[in-house]
Structure 1
Amino acid sequence: MSSIIQLLPDHVANQIAAGEVVQRPASVVKELLENAIDAGATDIKLICKDAGKTLIQVIDNGKGMNVTDARLCFERHATSKIRKAEDLFDLHTKGFRGEALASIAAIAHVELKTKQDQDELGTHLVIEGSKFTSQEPSVLPKGTSFSVKNLFFNIPARRNFLKSDVVELRHIIDEFQRVVLAHSNIHFTMYHNGSELFNLPQSNLRQRIVNIFSGKTNEKLVPVQENTEIVTIDGFIGKPEFAKKNKGEQFFFVNDRFIKSGYLHHAIMAAYEGLLRDGAQPSYFLYLSVPPHTIDINIHPTKTEIKFDDEHALYAILRSAVKHSLGQFNVAPVLDFERDATLDTPYSFQNKEVDFPTIQVDSTFNPFEQEKKTTTSNFSSGGYKPKKETQSWESLYVGLKDTFEPQEMHFESEVTINSLFADSEVEKPKTVTYQIHKKYIVSPIKSGMLIIDQQRAHQRVLYEQFLTNITVHHANSQQLLFPITLYFSGNEMSLINELRPSLENTGFIFDAIGQDSVVISGLPVTVSESEASIVLEQLVADLQDEIPESSFSQIDSMAKSMAKSLAVKTGAILTEAAQENLVNNLFACKENSVSPFNKPTFITISVEDLDKKFSV
């Protein structure tokens, strides 16, 4: 009987491994950027076309490779980062498994150009689906150029699962930002379809953060520093008043490696307790340095999760460090009634030396040596002109008696009501709605009564209004007396640019859209000036993770997000007129029984149901 277990061919094994390593174009970007950093590069360029589906190229000025290394780097489990198993617990580099390049070469067309500084000629390799098609010496500059073309060309099923270019580009930018934030001493540039998206020169950490997330980020940051035997914490946290709905600007780095940790995130949220509004997320850029032997970074294929030896101590230190910074720079409230906040020293001047003022005296000054001007000079020829005599004040009123005569004044007589109850015969409209617990609206009907959820009902009304305005391209706007300027990050600005036509159809009027800001001169009638930033931030947060493929789905998601932001909330007190207006608008909707999120807007209780309650 023949054996049923067989060894897989290398190209099949590489394609299977590629399923773990290369999930989308952003995975290739991450691996190539980390290899360039490990090569000691000080200038790295990332070039993409069609969100990485057509081309991903990384050019660096690192130490390069010789001919043997250039061939060997595409073999599985070939790496220059480790030599023995113990090295896994003393890692100072990014990649170490030796599967990335082999996996990439198995599912794409790869072109490698590399040269070491001491060599006269470099090496030019071309690989298609793990097969070397050409290898030749070439005149190249120092460093490495790695081009990945036609990703997933031999796995069409995986290529079909890729999202739109906008979504894939956003994932690439996310990976790019995670790498550049960890290495502010390296010059990074990124191009997409020929246009420059980022140009980040060498700088300090604060300047690198500002260069990525717009100029207004500088005033939002509060520094964090803590040195202990277990961990060294450095970085910045955001002020509570700038917290947003989304988690876009939250970064943890452990030994210059980006990680995700819900446990450490909980420590940050605990430090902000009592300072954030409901649902708000603070921004933070925190860098943790720990001894390499106290962590295990080989527990996840993408190496974004780390296991710590002493998580509880790290949790406590991180929480106290963040809380100390919030209190130290007067971000958190302080119970000190005698402290004058205007006398506090800004933290940017904490370590500056005091500049004492200097006094300069003119020792040669003698006031008695000045020549005195005689008063007779005033009477020189042409120098004196006698003043005209002013007329007496009585002359101002000459002629008034002749022209002004007080006339008889008539006053309107006020209408007096003979009786306090004179209007009792006028029948007032009866109240047909009632609000219960600032949440539900009760309205009687013939068969019983309706109980309406005011928030869900208002969401349905606004949702259908926004859908109509966007699709019909007609909406009323209210002009602002003074235009308002809102600031967003690069990712958020690209999304707002894409949504601009739909936003204008809802009533927004944009005067200008820059790289990190928008100027708004008009708002929809249902949006107040104070709600403009809330609506746009919520819209960006809802659509930032996954933008729908079709334009209709995008418009639908946009209408849902704006309806959720602007709907009356639970706890709001509604007048009788507002209650009736909401009920009438709800039953004028095409689909009034459910909210935009498929939750019931009202229930009915019949008289029979009430009778059963009292029949006991």
Structure 2
Amino acid sequence: MSDIIKLLPDHVANQIAAGEVVQRPASVVKELLENAIDAGASQIKILVKDAGRTLVQVIDDGRGMSTTDARLSFERHATSKIKSADDLFALCTKGFRGEALASIAAVAHVELKTKTENEEVGTRIEIEGSTIKEQEVCATIKGTSIAVKNLFYNIPARRNFLKSDNVELRHVIDEFQRVALAHEGIGFVMYHNDNELFNLQRANKRQRIVSIFGAKTNEKLVPVVEETEIVEIDGFIIKPEFSKKTKGEQFFFVNDRFIKHPYLNHSVNAAFDGLLPDRSRASYFIYLKVDPKTIDINIHPTKTEVKFEDEHAIYNLLRAAVKHSLGQFNIAPILDFNRESNMDTPYSYKDKAVEVPRVEVDRNFNPFETVTSNGRSSHVATYEKKSSAGWETMYEGLDRRTTESSFSSLQIEDEPEGESLFVEHESKGFTENKQTDRDAANTYQIHNKYVVSAIKSGMLVIDQNRAHQRVLYEEFLRNITVKESVSQQLLFPLRLDYSSSELALFSSLKESLENTGFVLDFPEDGILEVSGIPASIQESEVSIVLEQLLSDVEQEVPNAGFSQTDVLAKSMAKSMAVKTGEKLDDLSREHLVNKLFACTEPTLSPFYKKTFITLTVDELDRKFNA
């Protein structure tokens, strides 16, 4: 039998490695930024076009590379970070495997320009699909510039799997923010399609967070500081009243490297127990410093997951540190029966100097002195005895008997009915092609979840949430397409705080949102002003709807057969639909059923779930006769 195991060619092995390391343009951004940081850069510029599909270029002022190093940097497992296996347990750099550049070069066109400080000229290398096309000397400044063009040009299936530009740009910005937050001592500038998105100067941690997420973030931050032999904890948590129902800002950094750690996330949430609004999530920026020998970061290709030597101790220390900050800054209530709460000194007074209180006394004051009509004072104390006459009048009429009850005209106020979910002027009937044998007069609600309607052959059981989602979904699609939405103007416009990346996303969705009834404006950095909302939404629900929209657009499915309009309509329908557990009056139930069967696809919700089921009389008979 002939041998069947063979060594893979280098270009095939690089493409396989690229499948793990380079998942999307954001992966390229992460790897190139980390290489620039390892090179000792103090200023980094990143240029992105078409959300990274066409170009991702990172320019730094770091040490640069010699001609030999520039050539070897594109070989697999070529690295300057480790020399032996023991070095894996004392890593203080970002990259160490030597796979990034080789993997990127296997699936893109790469151009590298680099020069060290001592050399007069630099090196330029051009690579296409792991093949070096050109290598020459060039005139360039100190540092390194890497341009990655036409990502996945030789893997069309992988390129088609990428999501829309809005979603891919969101991932690119996420990676950029994670790196920038972890290295506040480095300046970052980011451009997308020649538009400046970020210009971050060297600063401290608090200033870097504020510069990324907006000036309003400063008042939301609560410091967290704790230093132990096991771990050093630094960073900030967001006050509970500013928490979001979506994922929000949740950042963990270990030794200046962003990580995802559900166990530590549970620790922070445990510290917030009882303080967060319903279904809201804690937001935080937590920086951990541990001994590199006590963690293993080589357990995932993207290096975003780590394994701690003593996770349980770090869990408890982190929870205690967050609880301490919540109590220290009067965020969480403190219960102490042995301490008088009104004797507490506000935290803002901790550095205030002590002042001796001054008491002024009018020594000429005489409480018995009265002023006479001629203006002279008299020291005669007078006491007025109030007359007790007339006290009997207070009890007159109590012993009289009236033949007519005083409660004969008492009116009992009826309990107000719940607001109608739907407007009354809409048609109550079905369209002709949707007419069924349903008895229109009888609808009932079960457990505030299902609407039951009788038909001649049995009965319909309708899921009120899914049915309303279908109604709103088709309504929003129609409004966006026809551009004839109804908007209610707000007396006082809402001003909502968002990061620059979130505002950029709203800007791209502005036209579609206005076609659904929103009226949006961007008066200043970090502020979204809402002056008009759809007629079917309450003012208090605006922020919830917009936060849900951000989350849904971020998780948008690939472009095959889907559009931005579809995602927008689905997201708003999901947020604004009547919820399970909400009681509907007769008119609302009737209207929901009528509108559902007037839809083009009444049987399924926008998320392809059944909206109703039919139980026939025969099926009911079989259950009783079973």
TM-score range for the pair, normalised by the shorter chain length: 0.7 to 0.9
What is the match of residue 280 of structure 2?
Answer: 280
TM-superposed deviation, 1:534: 1.2
**Are the equivalent residues in 2 in contact too, given 1:245–1:541 (CA < 8 A)?**
no
What is the match of residue 231 of structure 2?
Answer: 231
Say whether 1:557 aligns with 2:567. Answer: yes
TM-superposed deviation, 1:356: 5.8
Cα deviation digits, residues 302-351 of structure 1 (max 9, x gap):
111111111122222222222222232222233469876897635xx476
**Are the equivalent residues in 1 in contact too, given 2:162–2:558 (CA < 8 A)?**
no
Say whether 1:67 aligns with 2:67. Answer: yes
Q: Which residue identity is paired with 2:38?
A: D
What is the match of residue 30 of structure 1?
Answer: 30
TM-superposed deviation, 1:583: 3.2
d(CA) in 2 for partners of 1:53, 1:229: 46
TM-superposed deviation, 1:448: 4.3
Number of matched pairs: 547
Cα deviation digits, residues 548-573 of structure 1 (max 9, x gap):
53796332222222122122222323
Given candidates 480, 498, 503, the residue that maps to 1:488 is 498
**Are the equivalent residues in 2 in contact too, given 1:260–1:304 (CA < 8 A)?**
yes
**Are the equivalent residues in 1 in contact too, given 2:121–2:140 (CA < 8 A)?**
yes
**Are the equivalent residues in 2 in contact too, given 1:41–1:61 (CA < 8 A)?**
yes
Alignment of 1:13-162 (within 5 A): 13-162=13-162
**Are the equivalent residues in 1 in contact too, given 2:161–2:558 (CA < 8 A)?**
no
Given candidates 509, 534, 538, the residue that maps to 2:544 is 534
For the structure 1 residues 161 and 603, does the alpha-carbon distance in structure 2 shift closer, same or farther, using more than 3 Å as the test? closer
Normalising by structure 1, what TM-score?
0.82
For the structure 1 residues 10 and 221, does the alpha-carbon distance in structure 2 shift closer, same or farther, using more than 3 Å as the test? same
SS of the residue aligned with 2:563?
helix
TM-superposed deviation, 1:580: 3.0
Cα deviation digits, residues 211-239 of structure 1 (max 9, x gap):
11122222222211122221111111122
TM-superposed deviation, 1:257: 0.7
**Are the equivalent residues in 1 in contact too, given 2:466–2:611 (CA < 8 A)?**
yes
d(CA) in 1 for partners of 2:452, 2:54: 59
For the structure 1 residues 351 and 180, does the alpha-carbon distance in structure 2 shift closer, same or farther, using more than 3 Å as the test? farther
For the structure 1 residues 613 and 172, does the alpha-carbon distance in structure 2 shift closer, same or farther, using more than 3 Å as the test? closer
TM-superposed deviation, 1:40: 1.0
SS of the residue aligned with 2:225?
strand
What is the match of residue 295 of structure 2?
Answer: 295
**Are the equivalent residues in 2 in contact too, given 1:258–1:304 (CA < 8 A)?**
yes
For the structure 1 residues 477 and 317, does the alpha-carbon distance in structure 2 shift closer, same or farther, using more than 3 Å as the test? same
d(CA) in 2 for partners of 1:350, 1:86: 51
Q: Give the aligned CA root-mean-square deviation in angstroms.
A: 3.0
What is the match of residue 518 of structure 1?
Answer: 528
**Are the equivalent residues in 2 in contact too, given 1:33–1:179 (CA < 8 A)?**
yes
Say whether 1:354 aligns with 2:364. Answer: no
What is the match of residue 580 of structure 2?
Answer: 570
Cα deviation digits, residues 437-466 of structure 1 (max 9, x gap):
333334444444444333233223222222
TM-superposed deviation, 1:606: 4.5
Say whether 1:502 aligns with 2:512. Answer: yes
What is the match of residue 413 of structure 1?
Answer: none
SS of the residue aligned with 1:146?
strand
d(CA) in 2 for partners of 1:342, 1:44: 51
d(CA) in 1 for partners of 2:334, 2:484: 51
**Are the equivalent residues in 2 in contact too, given 1:125–1:134 (CA < 8 A)?**
yes
Cα deviation digits, residues 124-156 of structure 1 (max 9, x gap):
333333333433333332212222223333333
For the structure 1 residues 303 and 614, does the alpha-carbon distance in structure 2 shift closer, same or farther, using more than 3 Å as the test? closer
d(CA) in 1 for partners of 2:542, 2:137: 60
For the structure 1 residues 444 and 256, does the alpha-carbon distance in structure 2 shift closer, same or farther, using more than 3 Å as the test? same
d(CA) in 1 for partners of 2:620, 2:20: 60
Report % sequence identity: 65
What is the match of residue 7 of structure 2?
Answer: 7
TM-superposed deviation, 1:45: 0.7
d(CA) in 1 for partners of 2:571, 2:502: 15
Cα deviation digits, residues 165-206 of structure 1 (max 9, x gap):
322222211111111110000001111121111100001111
Q: Which stretch shows the higher mean deviation, 603-612 or 15-24? A: 603-612
**Are the equivalent residues in 2 in contact too, given 1:47–1:191 (CA < 8 A)?**
yes
For the structure 1 residues 551 and 480, does the alpha-carbon distance in structure 2 shift closer, same or farther, using more than 3 Å as the test? farther
Give 5+ residue unaligned stretches, structure 1.
Answer: 360-416, 421-429
SS of the residue aligned with 2:224?
strand
For the structure 1 residues 591 and 160, does the alpha-carbon distance in structure 2 shift closer, same or farther, using more than 3 Å as the test? closer
TM-superposed deviation, 1:119: 2.6
**Are the equivalent residues in 1 in contact too, given 2:167–2:553 (CA < 8 A)?**
no
TM-superposed deviation, 1:604: 4.1
Q: Which residue identity is paired with 1:12?
A: V
Normalising by structure 2, what TM-score?
0.80
Say whether 1:601 aligns with 2:611. Answer: yes
For the structure 1 residues 587 and 137, does the alpha-carbon distance in structure 2 shift closer, same or farther, using more than 3 Å as the test? closer
SS of the residue aligned with 2:6?
coil
Say whether 1:199 aligns with 2:199. Answer: yes
d(CA) in 1 for partners of 2:257, 2:242: 26
Q: Which stretch shows the higher mean deviation, 154-163 or 265-274? A: 154-163
**Are the equivalent residues in 2 in contact too, given 1:495–1:544 (CA < 8 A)?**
no
**Are the equivalent residues in 2 in contact too, given 1:431–1:576 (CA < 8 A)?**
no
Alignment of 1:309-324 (within 5 A): 309-324=309-324
SS of the residue aligned with 2:168?
helix
**Are the equivalent residues in 1 in contact too, given 2:56–2:149 (CA < 8 A)?**
yes
**Are the equivalent residues in 1 in contact too, given 2:46–2:56 (CA < 8 A)?**
yes
For the structure 1 residues 342 and 534, does the alpha-carbon distance in structure 2 shift closer, same or farther, using more than 3 Å as the test? farther
What is the match of residue 345 of structure 1?
Answer: 346
TM-superposed deviation, 1:355: 7.5
Q: Which residue identity is paired with 1:477?
A: S
d(CA) in 2 for partners of 1:339, 1:595: 57
Q: Which residue identity is paired with 2:155?
A: I
What is the match of residue 418 of structure 2?
Answer: none
Q: Which residue identity is paired with 1:105?
A: A
Q: Which residue identity is paired with 1:489?
A: S
d(CA) in 2 for partners of 1:169, 1:115: 30
d(CA) in 2 for partners of 1:577, 1:129: 65
d(CA) in 2 for partners of 1:608, 1:129: 66
What is the match of residue 177 of structure 1?
Answer: 177
For the structure 1 residues 462 and 106, does the alpha-carbon distance in structure 2 shift closer, same or farther, using more than 3 Å as the test? closer
SS of the residue aligned with 1:101?
helix
TM-superposed deviation, 1:536: 1.0
d(CA) in 1 for partners of 2:245, 2:93: 34
For the structure 1 residues 358 and 444, does the alpha-carbon distance in structure 2 shift closer, same or farther, using more than 3 Å as the test? closer
d(CA) in 1 for partners of 2:321, 2:472: 44
SS of the residue aligned with 1:141?
coil
What is the match of residue 589 of structure 2?
Answer: 579
TM-superposed deviation, 1:547: 5.8
